[in-house]
Amino acid sequence: MTQATAIGLNVQERDVVDTPLVGAPPIGQVGAVFESPRGPLNVAVRATSLGRCRQVWGGLSKKYKAGYCMRGLFKNAGQYGAVLYGTRITTSAMNAAIAATILGSVVEPFALAPNDDIVIDTDNGGDETATFLATKASVVGNGGTFPTSFAGGETLSFRVEGKQIDVIFTAAAQAINDVLVEINAAGEGFSAKASGGEVQILSDVFGTSSSIEILAGGTALAGLGLTAGTSLGTGNVTNIKKVTVAEVKAIVEAATTALNVLSDGGKVRFTGTQTGVSGEVDIKSGAAVSKLGHVVGTTNGTNTGSAAPTPAFVTLQRSSTDVWTFTAGFLGRQDPGAWANGSVYLFLSANLTDSNKRDLSVRYKEPGSTTAVEVERWTGLDASNVVSVLNNPTQGSEYVVVNIEGGDSGVPDVSSNETALSSGTVGKDAVASPTNSDYEGGLASFNGLDTQVITNFDLDDAMWAGSLESYCAGRADVLGVFQTPQGASIAAIKADFASLRKGKSFIAGYRSYCEVNDGFGGAIKVPVIGHVIGAAYIRKPRSRGDIVHTAPAGKSTFLLDVLSVDDAIYSQPQLKELANDTHINSIVFESKSGFYVKTSRTMSTENKWLSIHVRLLTNHIKVSFQESLGDLEQEGNNPDTRRRLRDSVIDFMEQLDNQNAFEKSGGFGNNVAVVCDESNNPQRTVQQRRMVCDVAYRPAEIAEEVAVNLIQTRDGIQVVDA
């Protein structure tokens, strides 16, 4: 008996298992998961403007990154517009009691000074002091003769942190001050001065990496009283001006009994041992406090919180009956959190034509405003229709949902004053962050949606990038875009994200956080991913005529709505290391172009899948076939039908070829081949109720490096007809 392997039209890459496909995603459709002040949980909501984003998920809040990423997305997409399918998530774990914890604001390395200290009382155990120690390497002469009687040409060679300095004295180097001038002029990273009538050479570095090595053989050694040998700096840090979190951890934990020091995105996090509100981290004083990004003060732990955030609500009724309970909500779903407390107001009035019905005014007070403004009005409500009207999933209220107690068939009393929703709680969101699995759960909300790219406005680690790869590879028709951690070095990125590189990858990563206006008179650092998607994946291809295979990089992807971008200055070796060794894409700065996306690579190791535009093109071809060729299902599997399928595919591929999607050498027939005849549809395949069409294509590659060779000639240039 013949068994069907798949029903309907199936378009797939030859080395990918059968994968359900969705409709062709237009340019500018983005899926994102994130935390936000409001919004229904674990459901994708469509927004086509920044104003709509504020309405659905709340305005800007320094607690949440999403609002700033949304602003970056829409501002960089500009006139071309964007469609955001956003999914709010929350943590699913119970909120256990936690110890006191405080995170610094400065990213390593930290510029300290010798003997800087920090005094901390952890969990009321008493003051404890951690001190950062460092001295310079120093060499002092013994028995130097001044004036020197140098005739000129005398030499002194020494190394400073391994870098060799060579001094050739002139005959003018007689007095000790003249000698010091000529030594100091020979290089950088050290200083020479007089000490007790002798020459002293000191490294500029404080710490154990500091070293001065006097090399043997110098003809000026005896006259200066110097001998060959090495002097090392001392202390408990390598370089006091470049202290790492690891060094802070070692020094502070050694000096304290109950304090734990962790690295959190390159910042120092102090955490106590005792859980609950009785635990505390009390930073008392010390010159190192502000340099580590901390402030003097006390932070307490928290007790067990509620299992989940709860929505605000209000009950309107007639005496003890006819109870209508209004809860903060959005299109039939509850909208938990504290956002509606004292912000959403209801006013119930008698309907003008039927006193047995009610009209409802929903009013909203924007953060910072003193007046609630009507945002919705519903008329002619009674027990028979209020639930179906307000809780309608497409046309209902975007501020409340309503519930009627069983058996109540009347209407509540009219309002004498507007009544505010209250008692909404942030619950565990106040102290616990969602886990990777919480964000993974949010990805399911994008199944069946037309999205070109999917991202996360919050997480920036390799675990999330791996989850994103799994989801996108499973769909095989969407590109995942992720962010690397703030302040991470190229070496750290290489180590943390190496496991994500694979033969054919469906994700692309970007380095850097950006600084933006926080909307409250200051600035805030947020992931650059929203800005990148708006500029590179929407504005650039849309401005070029909706060319889906446009490489999302280059100077035309300049970023708007940024004050600065971290790690935007690279040497050529650093750019190559980031691109070749990590496949993470960089954002760079040039004075004439501003900040823009420099490279466009996926995490693929196979060269044919390396470029992002090839992945975008392949996704587009697959889902376009899926959408447009469905009318061939259930048609006869005969030469005429196969010809129709082949011709339809060729027509579509020729349209892409006219947009320069494929290589041009040798013409269309040399770069695109479509086979749908008896050669790949033998009788056995036909009997299995399958029709096969093979499409081979050679995508056009981009120029990642442009080389212009300048050739100077002294023989003249002759131009002749060929």
Distances (CA, A) of 651 to 115, 137, 643, 672: 75, 74, 12, 11
> If DSSP codes are grouped into helix, strand and coil, which group holds residue 572?
helix
**Strand ranges in 312-399 using DSSP code E only, listed in sequence order:** 313-318, 321-330, 333-334, 344-350, 358-364, 373-381
Contact 531, 559 (CB under 8 A): yes
Position 21 scores a pLDDT of 31
Q: State CA 119 to chain mean position distance.
A: 34
Q: How many CA atoms lie within 13 A of 549 on its CB side?
A: 23
The label of the residue with tokens 């349209």 reads 655
> If DSSP codes are grouped into helix, strand and coil, which group holds residue 501?
coil
Position 263 scores a pLDDT of 86
Domain 136-232 annotated CATH 2.60.120: no
Euclidean distance between CA atoms 55 and 36, whole angstroms:
12
Distances (CA, A) of 445 to 32, 451, 559: 10, 12, 29
Euclidean distance between CA atoms 581 and 603, whole angstroms:
10
Contact 251, 261 (CB under 8 A): no
What is the 8-class DSSP label of residue 660?
A: T
Alpha carbon dihedral 12, 16, 20, 24, in 10-degree steps, equals -50
| Domain 29-34+64-88+432-613: CATH class, spelled out | alpha beta
Residues spanned by CATH 3.40.50 within the chain? 29-34+64-88+432-613
Residue whose C-alpha is closest to residue 116's, from 292, 250, 281, 253: 292
Position 96 scores a pLDDT of 56
The label of the residue with tokens 């000026």 reads 220
Q: What is the DSSP code string of 70-104?
A: HHHHHHHHGGG--EEEEEE----S----BEEEEE-
Amino acid at 441: G
Contact 471, 499 (CB under 8 A): no
Position 230 scores a pLDDT of 96
Residues spanned by CATH 2.60.40.4290 within the chain? 313-425
Position 3 scores a pLDDT of 39
Position 703 scores a pLDDT of 67
Residues of the chain with pLDDT under 70: 1-26, 92-97, 301-308, 319, 406-407, 427-432, 702-722
Position 19 scores a pLDDT of 30
Tokens of 348: 């119930």
Position 619 scores a pLDDT of 86
Contact 603, 583 (CB under 8 A): yes
Residue whose C-alpha is closest to residue 615's, from 483, 429, 715, 472: 472
Task: Kindly state the helix (H) or strand (E) to which residue 612 belongs, with its residue range.
Answer: helix 612-628
Bin 615: left if φ > 0, else alpha if -120 < ψ < 50, else beta.
alpha
Tokens of 468: 């994103």
In CATH, the architecture of 99-133+239-300 is Sandwich (2.60)
Position 705 scores a pLDDT of 57
Contact 583, 601 (CB under 8 A): yes
Other beta carbons less than 10 A from residue 549's beta carbon: 24
Amino acid at 278: S
Position 573 scores a pLDDT of 92
Residue whose C-alpha is closest to residue 47's, from 21, 90, 77, 20: 77
> If DSSP codes are grouped into helix, strand and coil, which group holds residue 445?
helix
Position 491 scores a pLDDT of 93
What is the 8-class DSSP label of residue 41?
A: B
> If DSSP codes are grouped into helix, strand and coil, which group holds residue 224?
helix
Contact 532, 597 (CB under 8 A): yes
Other beta carbons less than 10 A from residue 603's beta carbon: 25
**Strand ranges in 586-655 using DSSP code E only, listed in sequence order:** 587-590, 594-597
Contact 548, 617 (CB under 8 A): yes
* Topology given in CATH for the domain delimited by 313-425: Immunoglobulin-like (2.60.40)
Contact 296, 289 (CB under 8 A): yes
**CB within 8 A of 381, min separation 6: which ones?**
351, 357, 358, 359, 360, 389, 390, 411
Other beta carbons less than 10 A from residue 191's beta carbon: 16
Q: State CA 508 to chain mean position distance.
A: 11
Residues spanned by CATH 2.60.40.4390 within the chain? 99-133+239-300
